[in-house]
């Protein structure tokens, strides 16, 4: 029987490269629709509500099922769940590519969310089981983190390229060959792992987790889109109540879906909290840089998407540097605090962006904060998976991904609300600004396009200044959260070991399943 801490060989690394296929595609599907909306609208003629659901249903289903799928993978086997997810994802991609109605496309996006919920935790859980050596695992997780964030950035680029040469369904069709390759290669290169002590699958807990996550995420996103209203607050309240019932069931059940012992480990709980803060800033501020490039600097969507790849240079440099620092024994809490501090400096640069600033100013600030947050996210993922027992790796990775979804939604809601409130106030205080131009920058530019010179030019300038000021306020908020993250990382994680093996675990328990 191989040693629990034996180093992975060539087969494991080749298998790891196969696992990057679903990760890239699932993360790309978050953003792949951005440029396709005009083509889909012309072809399928969806209503405004249907168009919103085309975007949102994927993320909602993905977030709602992560915990369920993570626990299911621990029970039935992570490779088996990965293959089932690949089959579902590939089939749903075909359905989406050839959808002839808006309802069909929405249903296909929901099925893609189901498939994505099986694929993301399965890949990370398998990494935890394939790489027992701490240094190898930290390297693999750094690559995993980079692939996940890179997929989100590449989605709009690939979408723009395909839409220039093919019909809109091609943005989904590219998933199918990759899923076929995964179905063929994974059984040969990726070993199976499961929890030998997994109890009966708790269907009620599965329903409670879905019922808690969905209304909470939905309510937060509604507040981000439309401001503080009663309905989304009620949704969030329902989600919190159901979440409390879910937690109580986990504490009292003889076969809990989530092992309560996980949250008694500071490395696990603290790292998930740090990941939530990092995603709060990363996702919450991304909408400002995207709008700045397109609506303030006047770039086309494809040009803006290409320039938005520049921060990836900082991301690509940060991951290996952070991994080397951690492998040399530098306390991960201090490295993580350094990442938060670098991110705060990036936000400080962004507080200086003006409507007339050069392109390099906003790209510099975005590159700095993205590099800092990549440093945090790389170590967070490593610490979460190191702190979780190998037999609970699926559940641990699902909890990490669920925290990612919550962090991003909170960032969009809170930082987005800061920017929107500033824009609305300044446009309202400006003289002779039509009411229809006071809510969003896009709305103001649409109103301006119908006016004559010089009124149009003045309205555009006023709107861009108001948006940029809102962007500055949001950058201040992001910087303060990053400073708080640096302090919390040191306080809560400086005395925590990066890897905690389960008490009483045996080699047999942690060995791959041969079935």
> What distance in Å separates the CA atoms of residue 240 and residue 162, rounded to the nearest whole number?
41
Q: Which of 93-97, 230-234, 452-456 has the lowest mean pLDDT?
A: 452-456
The answer to whether the CB of 324 falls within 8 A of the CB of 318 is no
Q: What is the pLDDT of residues 15-60, one digit of tens each?
A: 888 888 777 777 676 666 666 766 777 788 777 667 667 777 777 7
The whole-number pLDDT of residue 75 equals 79
Among residues 258, 241, 242, 259, the alpha carbon closest in space to that of 208 is found at: 242
Residue with tokens 């087969």: 11
The answer to whether the CB of 78 falls within 8 A of the CB of 129 is yes
The answer to whether the CB of 210 falls within 8 A of the CB of 65 is yes
Q: What is the pLDDT of residues 95-114, one digit of tens each?
A: 998 988 888 998 998 898 88
Mean pLDDT of the chain: 79
DSSP classification of residue 295? I
Residue 458 has pLDDT above 90, yes or no: no
The whole-number pLDDT of residue 199 equals 64
The whole-number pLDDT of residue 351 equals 94
Q: How confident is the model at residue 502 (pLDDT cuts 50, 70, 90)?
A: very low
> What distance in Å separates the CA atoms of residue 176 and residue 180, rounded to the nearest whole number?
6
**What is the per-residue DSSP string for 440-508?**
-HHHHHHHHTTSPTTHHHHHHHHHHHHHHHHHHHHHHHHHHHHHHHHHHHHHHHTT--S--PPTT--HH
Among residues 383, 408, 351, the alpha carbon closest in space to that of 272 is found at: 383
Reduce the DSSP state of residue 202 to 3 states and report it: coil
Q: Which of 84-88, 188-192, 348-352, 433-437 has the lowest mean pLDDT?
A: 433-437
The whole-number pLDDT of residue 257 equals 74
366 vs 120: which has the higher pLDDT: 366
What number is the average pLDDT over the span 466-489? 92
Q: For the chain, what is the radius of gyration of the CA atoms?
A: 23
The whole-number pLDDT of residue 282 equals 84
Residue with tokens 């009663």: 230
What number is the average pLDDT over the span 65-92? 84
Among residues 154, 171, 176, 153, the alpha carbon closest in space to that of 38 is found at: 171
Residue 419 has pLDDT above 70, yes or no: yes
The whole-number pLDDT of residue 401 equals 76
Residue 186 has pLDDT above 60, yes or no: yes
H/E element, 86? helix 78-97
Residue 337 has pLDDT above 80, yes or no: yes
The answer to whether the CB of 239 falls within 8 A of the CB of 216 is yes
Q: How confident is the model at residue 341 (pLDDT cuts 50, 70, 90)?
A: very high
> What distance in Å separates the CA atoms of residue 400 and residue 381, rounded to the nearest whole number?
8
Exposure class string for 423-444: b at 16+ Cβ within 10 A, else e: bbebbeebeebeeebbbbbeeb
Exposure class string for 3-15: b at 16+ Cβ within 10 A, else e: eeeeebeeebeeb
> What distance in Å separates the CA atoms of residue 233 and residue 220, rounded to the nearest whole number?
8
Among residues 157, 224, 142, 250, the alpha carbon closest in space to that of 407 is found at: 224
State in Å, rounded, how far the first CA of the chain is from the last one. Answer: 16
> What distance in Å separates the CA atoms of residue 182 and residue 295, rounded to the nearest whole number?
40
> What distance in Å separates the CA atoms of residue 412 and residue 270, rounded to the nearest whole number?
22
The answer to whether the CB of 1 falls within 8 A of the CB of 508 is yes
Among residues 91, 72, 90, 80, the alpha carbon closest in space to that of 22 is found at: 90
Residue 193: φ, ψ to 5°: -135, 145
Q: What is the pLDDT of residues 192-221, one digit of tens each?
A: 777 666 667 777 877 888 888 888 878 877
Residue 122 has pLDDT above 70, yes or no: yes
319 vs 87: which has the higher pLDDT: 87
Q: What is the pLDDT of residues 312-321, one digit of tens each?
A: 777 777 777 8
* Joined tokens for residue 115: 């498939």
> What distance in Å separates the CA atoms of residue 280 and residue 240, rounded to the nearest whole number?
19
CA 373 distance to own-chain centroid:
13
Q: How confident is the model at residue 178 (pLDDT cuts 50, 70, 90)?
A: confident
H/E element, 59? helix 48-76
The whole-number pLDDT of residue 29 equals 66
The whole-number pLDDT of residue 478 equals 92
The whole-number pLDDT of residue 504 equals 42
Among residues 257, 281, 261, 254, the alpha carbon closest in space to that of 207 is found at: 257
> What distance in Å separates the CA atoms of residue 375 and residue 367, rounded to the nearest whole number?
12
Within 8 A by CB and 6+ apart from 174, the residues are 25, 158, 162
The whole-number pLDDT of residue 503 equals 43
Residue 264 has pLDDT above 60, yes or no: yes
Among residues 65, 85, 87, 64, the alpha carbon closest in space to that of 76 is found at: 85
The whole-number pLDDT of residue 1 equals 39
Q: How confident is the model at residue 455 (pLDDT cuts 50, 70, 90)?
A: confident
Q: Catalogue the long-range contacts made by 42-46 (C-beta closer than 8 Å, 24 or more residues apart).
A: 43/168, 44/99, 44/100, 44/101, 44/102, 44/105, 45/102, 46/102, 46/105
The whole-number pLDDT of residue 431 equals 67
Strand partners, 513: 192
> What distance in Å separates the CA atoms of residue 145 and residue 397, rounded to the nearest whole number?
12
Provide the sign of the torsion angle of the four alpha carbons 390, 396, 400, 405, taken in this order.
positive
- Alpha helix positions (H), 98-133: 102-130
Residue 436 has pLDDT above 80, yes or no: no
What number is the average pLDDT over the span 395-423? 78
Q: How confident is the model at residue 507 (pLDDT cuts 50, 70, 90)?
A: very low
Residue 51: half-sphere exposure toward Cβ, Cα within 13 Å: 15
The answer to whether the CB of 243 falls within 8 A of the CB of 212 is yes
342 vs 164: which has the higher pLDDT: 342
């Amino acid at each position: 029987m191989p040693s629990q801490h034996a180093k992975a060989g060539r087969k494991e690394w080749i298998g790891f490269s196969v696992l990057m296929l679903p990760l890239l595609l699932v993360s790309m599907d978050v953003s792949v629709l951005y440029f396709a909306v005009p083509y889909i609208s012309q072809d399928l003629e969806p209503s405004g509500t249907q168009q919103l659901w085309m975007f949102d249903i994927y993320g909602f289903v993905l977030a709602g099922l992560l915990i369920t799928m993570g626990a299911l993978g621990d029970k039935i086997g992570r490779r088996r769940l990965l293959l089932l997810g690949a089959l579902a994802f590939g089939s749903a991609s075909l359905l989406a590519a050839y959808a002839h109605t808006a309802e069909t496309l929405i249903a296909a996006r929901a099925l893609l969310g189901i498939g994505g919920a099986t694929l993301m935790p399965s890949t990370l859980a398998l990494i935890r089981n394939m790489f027992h050596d701490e240094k190898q695992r930290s390297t693999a997780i750094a690559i995993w983190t980079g692939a996940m964030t890179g997929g989100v950035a590449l989605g709009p680029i690939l979408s723009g390229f395909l839409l220039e040469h093919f019909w809109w369904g091609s943005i989904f069709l590219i998933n199918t060959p990759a899923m076929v390759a995964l179905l063929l290669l994974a059984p040969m290169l990726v070993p199976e792992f499961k929890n030998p002590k997994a109890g009966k699958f708790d269907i009620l807990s599965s329903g409670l987790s879905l019922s808690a996550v969905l209304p909470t995420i939905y309510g937060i996103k509604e507040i981000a889109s439309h401001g503080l209203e009663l309905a989304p607050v009620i949704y969030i309240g329902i989600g919190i109540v159901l979440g409390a019932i879910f937690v109580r069931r986990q504490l009292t059940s003889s076969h809990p879906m989530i092992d309560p012992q996980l949250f008694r480990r500071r490395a696990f709980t603290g790292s998930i909290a740090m990941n939530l803060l990092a995603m709060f800033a990363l996702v919450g501020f991304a909408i400002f840089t995207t709008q700045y490039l397109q609506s303030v600097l006047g770039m086309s969507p494809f040009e803006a998407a290409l320039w938005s790849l520049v921060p990836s240079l900082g991301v690509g440099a940060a991951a290996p540097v952070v991994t080397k620092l951690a492998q040399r024994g530098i306390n991960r809490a201090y490295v993580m605090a350094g990442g938060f501090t670098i991110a705060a400096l990036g936000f400080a640069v962004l507080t200086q962006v003006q409507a007339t600033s050069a392109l390099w100013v906003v790209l510099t600030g975005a590159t700095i904060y993205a590099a800092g947050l990549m440093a945090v996210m790389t170590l967070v993922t490593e610490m979460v998976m190191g702190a979780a027992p190998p037999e609970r790796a699926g559940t641990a990775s699902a909890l990490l991904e669920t925290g990612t979804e919550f962090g991003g939604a909170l960032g969009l809601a809170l930082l987005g609300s800061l920017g929107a409130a500033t824009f609305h106030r300044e446009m309202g205080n400006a003289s002779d600004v039509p009411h229809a131009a006071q809510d969003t920058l896009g709305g103001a530019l649409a109103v301006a396009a119908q006016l004559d010179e010089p009124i149009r030019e003045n309205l555009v300038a006023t709107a861009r200044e108001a948006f940029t000021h809102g962007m500055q306020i949001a950058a201040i908020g992001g910087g303060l959260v990053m400073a708080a993250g640096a302090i919390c990382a040191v306080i809560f994680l400086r005395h925590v070991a990066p890897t905690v093996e389960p008490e009483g675990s045996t080699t047999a328990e942690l060995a791959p399943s041969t079935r």
